[in-house]
Chain A
Amino acid sequence: MNSIFTITLKELRSYFTSPIAYVVFTMFLVLSGYFFSVILFISKEASFRGAASNIIITLLFLMPLITMRMFSEERKMGTLELLMTKPVRDIEVMLGKFLAAAILFITMLASTLVYIFILTKYGNPDMGPIWSAYLGILLCGLSFIALGIFASTLTENQIIAAVIGFALVLLLWVMSWISGNLGEVDSELLSYISLSTHLEGFVKGVINLKDVVYYLSFIVFWLFVSVKSIEIRKWK
Chain B
Amino acid sequence: MKKRWICLFVENETGVLARISGIFSGKSYNLDSLTVGITEDKTISRMTISLTSDDKTFEQIKKQLGRSVEVIKVVDFADIAVHMKELMFVRVNHCSDREVDEIFKISKTFHASVIDYSPATVLIESIQTENRNNALIFLLEKCYANRIEIVRGGSVAIEALSIPKGTL
Are A and B physically bound partners?
no
Q: Which residues of A contact B (CB under 8 A)?
A: none
